Amino acid sequence: MYFESIGEALLMGGHGGFVWSAYGITFAVLTIALIRPLVSTRSLNATIRLRSARQSNLSEGDS
C-alpha cells in the first residue's frame, strides 16, 4: 500500500484538500445533473395533469 495509514491517505501529502474537494464538487454536479431532469419531468407531468383536468371540467360544463 502506498500510504501508511488512513490519515495519510486522506491528507495525500498535503494535497488531500484539493483532491477531496474535486471529488466532492464532481459528485455534487453529477447528482444535480441526475436529479434536476427528474424534478422537471414530475413538475411538467403535474402541470399537464392539472391542465387536462381543467379542460375536461370545462368541457363537461358545456354539455
Domain residue ranges in the chain: 23-54
pLDDT score of 59 more than 70: yes
* pTM assigned to the model: 0.65
- Is residue 19 within 8 Å of 12, Cβ to Cβ? yes
Grid cell 370545462 is found at 58
- Is residue 40 within 8 Å of 34, Cβ to Cβ? no
Of residues 25 and 1, which shows the higher confidence score?
25
Q: What is the pLDDT of residues 6-40, one digit of tens each?
A: 999 889 989 999 999 999 999 999 999 999 999 99
Of residues 62 and 3, which shows the higher confidence score?
3
